[in-house]
Structures are given as structure tokens and as C-alpha cells.
Amino acid sequence: MIINTPCNSVVFFAIMKKTFLLILLSAIFSFSLYARPSSEAGKLTIYGIKGSSGLGMLRIYEDPPEVPGFKVEAETLAYADQMAARFLSGEARVGIMPPNMAAKIASSGKDIRAAAIIGMGMLSLITSDPAVKSLEDLKGKTVEVAGQGVTPDFVFRKILENHGITPDRDLKLGYSLAPVEITQSLIAGRVSTALLPEPFATMALMGKPELRKITDIQEEWVRALDVGGNSVGNYPGNFPGSYPMTLLVVDGAFASANPAAVNVIRDAFKSSIEWVKANPAEAGGLAEKHELGLRAPVVAAAIPNSSYVFIPAAEGRKSLEALFNVFLEYAPVSIGGSLPGDGFYWK
């Protein structure tokens, strides 16, 4: 039996006080081990992709925007598939990717939002064949296409069908070569006709003067849809009704929790794109510095032939849906079987 004497009370409270201090110190020590500095806890990576898709964000690579509450950096991924994987895993919160890829991810149930269109149609049909002067002259020929089951493929198929040409029957479409290989093959004369995006189209034309463009693919797209430019989006400084090729996308949960941050990032992209278009030579130097896989002279020559834009996604919805409808026509599963809903478009 313990007798509660004054002495015992003093000892008891002394022990309790010491125990409390030990618990408090332990908690502080544990927190210091696991808590990160605020600059790391608020780290935000803006992901780009090597090649022409990343050129519009060159100033972001060079000087990342100041976003309150976040330490911002830019990182380049080699392929769009890597971008998709990072968004699906939750690692990426801001990045760029092809529109159909964003729609496909959204269809999987992942909350991803289109924040802005940053690249529109920039495809060229190039040939060294003197017999090919129009699309109709392609019958019986082989055309190398930069990518199967993606935007260039389906845009070209739609255009051909508008001219009464049935792909895979009236002509052969080749998909075995990557864009850089198609470019090299055009220059070397191993390939006579190809559909290429920028800057590869400019690279090919610079490498072999005998090469020339056939028609205007962007204008052919509008005619193929049988609509006027205003029906699918008519934007100053851009081909009327052209098809989107690159989107700025954001994780939905991140965007909802940080709308001001998304707006700062969108403004940074807009400023970067304007700078790139106004300073092609300097942009070429930055493309080499940040290792986008493109040589400075090619970038400088290609930028005036490209269509880097900044169109808030909600404003560019008609252009996006025009493209998505063609994907639904040829390969519905490629965008998830239906058009993205209202929530896909960040306002």
C-alpha cells in the first residue's frame, strides 16, 4: 500500500513532468526527421516532352515561373507514354501531351484537365516525286506517315477520304519509320513522299532542295470536315479550324485545390510561346541548351512554319471535339469511346 505523503506527491509530479518533456522532445525530433522544408514539400514539376512539343515552353525551362507556395522546376521526358504513366500514377500534376492521350486518360476515371491548347496543326506532305502534284496523284504510291493511330494518321486519312481516296486500297501508308528516320530517308532518296510534323518537315526541306510540299494539310483538314473555320475554332495568328496537336494538362485534384497556381502556370506558358515565336534564333539556342533533341538552326527555321499558340481549353473545345470525333470514327477506343465531358475542360 502506497501512502500519499507530500514527499510522494512531489516525486510523482517530478516523474510526470520529466516524462512529458521526454515525449515532447521525442515528438519534435520525429517531426524534424520526417518533415521536409517548405520548399521541398511544395515542389512542383512541370513536365515537357523532347522534340517539337516542348519548344513552346522553352522560357519555362530557362526561367520557371514563381508560383506562391511552390518551388517550381521543369523536367523533360523522352516520350509521351512516359507522361501518361506519370499522370496515371499521380506523380505528375502539370505537363504537356497529345489531346487524344489526355482524353484516353480521362476516360479511365483519372481526373485530368485540359488547361490550354499550346500547339495546333503543323503537318506537311512532302515529296520528291515529279509525278505527284496533288493528293489524287498519290494513288498507287506509298506515303510514310509519322505515327500510326495518332493525330497525323487520322487527320491524313480524313483528308484522303475527302478526296475520294481510300487509304490501304488506293495507296499504301507506311508506319515503320520514326520521324527522324523518315526525314533522313527523304533526304537520302530512300523515301519519295511522307507526311511529317515540324520541325522534321523543315529539316527535310533544308536537307534536299528537290523536296517540295503538296497542298496545305491544315486547310485540307477544314475542307475535309466540311465546315467553315469558325465552326471548329478560328483564332488570330493560327490556321482557321486547325487541329490541336499539343495540350497543357493538369491533375484535376491539384487544379481544384490550387486554381491560382494553374492560372500562373498558364500565363507562363502564354508568355513563353509568345517569346518563342518572336525569337526563333534564341529559341534554337535554348532548345540545344535544354537538350530537347533538336539542333538550333533547325529550330530557328522551323518555328515560323509551326503553329505554337495559347488557347484556353474551354475556348478551344470545338477544335478539340472536331479532332476527337475523327478519332471516334477511326478508333473509338483511342480516346475511351466517347467525347470527354464538361469537366475535362479547365475554365
Work out the average pLDDT over 6-10.
38
Statement: residue 342 has pLDDT above 70 = yes
291 close to 192: Cβ distance less than 8 angstroms: no
Task: Choose the weakest-confidence range: 87-91, 235-239, 269-273, 307-311.
Answer: 235-239
User: What local confidence, expressed as pLDDT, does residue 234 receive?
Assistant: 43
User: What local confidence, expressed as pLDDT, does residue 48 receive?
Assistant: 97
For 175, the grid coordinates are 508506319
262 close to 115: Cβ distance less than 8 angstroms: yes
**Which residues neighbour 107 within 8 Å (Cβ) at sequence distance 6 or greater?**
335, 336, 337, 338, 340
- The angle that helices 151-162 and 217-225 make with each other, rounded to 10 degrees, is 60
Output the CA torsion 184→188→189→193 (10° steps). Answer: 20
Statement: residue 330 has pLDDT above 80 = yes
Q: Which CATH architecture has domain 39-120+243-335?
A: 3-Layer(aba) Sandwich (3.40)
Backbone angles phi, psi at 150, to 5 degrees: -125, -175
57 close to 10: Cβ distance less than 8 angstroms: no
Work out the average pLDDT over 274-289.
97
Give the integer Cα–Cα distance in Å for 17 and 23.
10
Class of domain 123-232: alpha beta
Work out the average pLDDT over 258-276.
97
Cα angle for residues 179, 301, 280 (degrees, 5° grid): 115
Tens of pLDDT, residues 22-35 = 433 343 333 333 33
pLDDT band at 241 (very low <50, low <70, confident <90, very high): low
Residue 197 preceded by cis peptide, ω within 30: no
186 close to 194: Cβ distance less than 8 angstroms: yes
Give the integer Cα–Cα distance in Å for 127 and 143.
9
Across the chain, mean pLDDT equals 87
pLDDT band at 325 (very low <50, low <70, confident <90, very high): very high
Q: Of 53, 48, 46, give the one whose Cα is nearest residue 244.
A: 53
Query: Which stretch of DSSP H or E encloses residue 94?
Result: strand 94-97
Q: How far apart are the first and last CA of the chain?
A: 74
For 19, the grid coordinates are 516524462
Write the CA distances from 216 to 39, 124, 161, 226, integer angstroms. Answer: 48, 7, 16, 16
pLDDT band at 21 (very low <50, low <70, confident <90, very high): very low
Work out the average pLDDT over 57-66.
97
Question: Between β-strands 193-197 and 142-145, what pairing exists: parallel, antiparallel or unpaired?
Answer: parallel
Looking at the chain, the whole-number percentage of residues with pLDDT higher than 70 is 84
Work out the average pLDDT over 192-202.
96
Total length of the chain: 347
Residue 106: helix, strand or coil by DSSP? helix
pLDDT band at 207 (very low <50, low <70, confident <90, very high): very high
Work out the average pLDDT over 184-188.
97
Give the integer Cα–Cα distance in Å for 279 and 297.
13
255 dihedral zone (left: phi>0; alpha: psi -120 to 50; beta): alpha
Residue with cell 486554381: 259
pLDDT band at 152 (very low <50, low <70, confident <90, very high): very high
User: What local confidence, expressed as pLDDT, does residue 205 receive?
Assistant: 96
Statement: residue 17 has pLDDT above 90 = no
Give the integer Cα–Cα distance in Å for 124 and 74.
30
User: What local confidence, expressed as pLDDT, does residue 203 receive?
Assistant: 95
Statement: residue 5 has pLDDT above 60 = no
Amino acid at 33: L
Statement: residue 99 has pLDDT above 80 = yes
Boundaries of every domain in the chain: 39-120+243-335, 123-232
**In sequence order, what are the beta bridge partners of 194?**
126, 144
Q: Of 260, 250, 245, give the one whose Cα is nearest residue 87.
A: 250
Output the CA torsion 272→277→278→282 (10° steps). Answer: 80
